[in-house]
Amino acid sequence: MAKLLNLLTIIGILFFVYWSLKNHFRNKKLKQQGIQIKQTKVRPITLFSIVMLVMYASYMIYHLLYL
């Protein structure tokens, strides 16, 4: 289970970096075209940290209850 959690963490981080770079270049392209970009209330890093926190908390609960 721990190896799966490590693998999911690495995949999550790589996907977040890919998504951030893709979003950055898309916003830069739109800004050059003169299109206003509306910022969201919740930043992407906040969402990512919530997902990681839930994932590790669920692992800890699983570990405490079943092992």
Q: What is the pLDDT of residues 3-48, one digit of tens each?
A: 887 888 888 889 888 988 998 999 999 999 999 888 877 888 898 8
pTM of the shown model? 0.69
pLDDT tens for each residue of 45-66: 898 899 889 988 988 898 888 8
Residue 16 and residue 49 in contact, taking contact as beta carbons nearer than 8 Å: no
CA distances from 35 to 24, 25, 27, 32, 39 (A): 14, 14, 9, 8, 13
> Can you give the residue ranges of every domain in the chain?
2-66
* Cα–Cα dist 45/20, whole Å: 9
- Residue recorded with tokens 């739109």: 30
